[in-house]
Amino acid sequence: MITGRFFAAGADRRIAITIFILLAAAIIVPLLNLAVSPTSAFYVPAYIVALTGKYLCYALLALALDLVWGYCGILSLGHGAFFALGGYAMGMYLMRQIGSRGVYGNPILPDFMVFLNYKELPWFWYGFDHFWFAAIMVLAVPGLLAFIFGWFAFRSRVTGVYLSIITQAMTYALLLAFFRNDMGFGGNNGLTDFKDILGFNVQADATRSALFAASAVMLALAVFVTWAIVGSKYGKLLMAVRDAESRTRFLGWRAENVKLFAFTVSAVMAGIAGALYVPQVGIINPGEFEPSNSIEVVIWAAVGGRGTIVGPIIGALLVNAGKSWFTGVLPELWLFALGGLFVAVTLLLPKGIIGMWDSWRGNARALRAASVVEEAAAKVGVASATSKPARSPARNPGEWSWSDPEPQAAE
């Protein structure tokens, strides 16, 4: 049944094309890097492979955020924390793979532990010499944190900006914690100097290409999973919670469980993104927990178009390509550009690039007949106005037309 929908027309075709492009890139880019001679016009240099691989990880992170923000209305300002936790789990595996090749040549303890006078491996490092264990941790640690955090937060109905602020506090607390040397995660310097992954040299072109391919495949998989979630009955519930949480609750649904599921799935996706990111950039340090990083992820999703599946991917790729270009050419101006982007997108492009594209084509018929996905995309602008506290139906019975947007006192 899902496959039937998958090959259908409209927005689903957009998903299919995206997955197709990603899978094709996973094959073609490594081929162009490895099999084509460096003099050829089609040759893709290794650094481009690494760079785009990194962007794909960001895109996966943005997609994860979009699942909770675009489809469920939870603006998490702490998704960078899940990303970094996944990255640390992978980093710990890579650290253990160094073995006795470190500067101090200790076969058990990573360099920084020798340096900090650790006598034996802390208990939470056990098992990280096996890839399967690290892989499970990449999924489990962010997922568990999100589950516990969400279980508390959603149960006590912490919503809106309050939730945003405590997610920010969460990543800030983790930032401070990971900066401490006593934590046993390398403190300020984090984990770096990786040598091998699964027995292959991390620096080698072939490994980099493989990591790129893995990122692309994983992103394609995430797109498919998100599409399947959003298109299911559960997806409708997700959007119902986003648009009118109390109404959904009054209809007998458990809004907190709906949110908790989305939040946890999203955190696991973010963790995977982090785990793929770390071997490609070769370092993970507490800076990844910076609250500003998490907010930047939000703008990627917003630029591309939240509440769409393709949007966050396009947004992440575009903004990061812009960042790379700006910081190379005009480093002074990058923060102006980024800040301007935040303001411009929220003011002028509330639906993002995808939303603008759709309305620009003026294809009203496509909009009306579109599947859930596109409906969601079109709805975002209106939805946010109706879903806000003081405009909740229970408070303002009947139709009250108010021409201009108005501020709402926080309650």
Partner 1 sequence: MKIFHAMGLTLLLLLTTLSSSGAAEADLRAIIAKFATVTDFSETGAVVQELTATGDPAVERPLAALAEGNLYIRTADSMVFVGKEGDENVQLFDPLSGEAAGEASEDDITKITVNNTLRRAIRDALGTLTLGSKDPTVRIAAADTMFKTPDAANIEPLDAAIASETVASVKALLEQARAASILVSDKPDADKLAAIALIGSRGDRDAVSLLTSVEANASGAVKDAATAAIANINSTLALWDAGQNIWYGISLGSVLLLAAIGLAITFGVMGVINMAHGEMVMLGAYTTFVVQQVIRTSFPGLFDWSLVIALPLAFLVAALVGLVIERGVIRFLYGRPLETLLATWGVSLILQQAVRSIFGPTNQEVGNPSWMSGSFDIGQLAITWNRLWILVFALTVFGVLLYVMKRTPWGLQMRAVTANRRMAASMGIRTPWVDALTFALGSGIAGIAGVALSQIDNVSPNLGRGYIIDSFMVVVFGGVGNLWGTLVGAFSLGIVNKFLEPYAGAVLGKIVVLVLIILFIQKRPRGLFALKGRAVEA
Q: Find the part of the chain contacting partner 1 (CB under 8 A) among 28-36, 125-133, 172-180, 213-221.
A: 172-180
Among 133, 172, 200, 326, binds partner 1 (CB under 8 A): 172
What distances in angstroms separate CA 233 from CA 10, 127, 262, one per listed residue? 19, 39, 13
Number of residues that bind partner 1 (CB under 8 A): 63
Residue 302 sits in the site that holds partner 1 (CB under 8 A):
yes
Among 35, 103, 176, 206, binds partner 1 (CB under 8 A): 176
Q: Can you give the length of the chain in residues? A: 411
* Least CB distance to partner 1 at residue 344 (A): 8
Residue 156 sits in the site that holds partner 1 (CB under 8 A):
yes
Among 332, 360, 362, 398, binds partner 1 (CB under 8 A): 332
Query: Do the beta carbons of residue 193 and residue 312 sit within 8 Å?
Result: no
- 305's tokens: 């178009």
Is residue 320 packed enough to be buried (19+ CB in 10 Å), middle (13-18) or exposed (0-12)?
buried
Among 120, 365, 395, 403, binds partner 1 (CB under 8 A): 395
Which residues in the 362-391 window bind partner 1 by CB under 8 A? Answer: 384-385, 388-391
Q: Which is nearer to partner 1, 246 or 324 (CB)?
A: 246
How far is residue 188's CA from residue 175's CA, in Å, rounded to a whole number? 10
List the one residue out of 158, 221, 167, 171 whose CA is nearest residue 19: 221
Among 1, 41, 329, 409, binds partner 1 (CB under 8 A): 409
Q: How many whole angstroms from its chain centre is CA 407?
A: 30
List the one residue out of 406, 388, 400, 34 whose CA is nearest residue 210: 34
How far is residue 166's CA from residue 157's CA, in Å, rounded to a whole number? 13
Q: Which is nearer to partner 1, 232 or 346 (CB)?
A: 346
Helix (H) or strand (E) holding 340: helix 334-348
How far is residue 262's CA from residue 221's CA, in Å, rounded to a whole number? 16
Query: Do the beta carbons of residue 366 and residue 10 sit within 8 Å?
Result: yes
List the one residue out of 61, 204, 29, 206 whose CA is nearest residue 142: 61
Residue 287 sits in the site that holds partner 1 (CB under 8 A):
no
Q: Which is nearer to partner 1, 176 or 369 (CB)?
A: 176
Is residue 379 packed enough to be buried (19+ CB in 10 Å), middle (13-18) or exposed (0-12)?
middle
Query: Do the beta carbons of residue 139 and residue 271 sit within 8 Å?
Result: yes
Q: Which x/- pattern over 40-79 shows residues binding partner 1 (rule: CB under 8 A)?
A: -----------------------------------x----
DSSP structure string for 120-173: S--GGGTTTTSHHHHHHHHHHHHHHHHHHHHHHHHHTT--HHHHHHHHHHHHHH
* Least CB distance to partner 1 at residue 78 (A): 11
Q: Which is nearer to partner 1, 179 or 200 (CB)?
A: 179
Residue 169 sits in the site that holds partner 1 (CB under 8 A):
yes
Q: Which is nearer to partner 1, 75 or 197 (CB)?
A: 75
Residue 20 sits in the site that holds partner 1 (CB under 8 A):
no
Q: Find the part of the chain contacting partner 1 (CB under 8 A) among 27-35, 112-120, 298-306, 360-368.
A: 298-306
Q: Find the part of the chain contacting partner 1 (CB under 8 A) among 95-103, 202-210, 289-297, 371-379.
A: 289-297
Judged by the rule CB under 8 A, the positions of this chain that interact with partner 1 are 75, 149, 152-153, 155-162, 164-166, 168-170, 172-173, 176-177, 179-180, 245-246, 291-292, 295, 298-299, 302, 332, 335-336, 338-343, 345-347, 350, 384-385, 388-392, 394-395, 400, 404-411
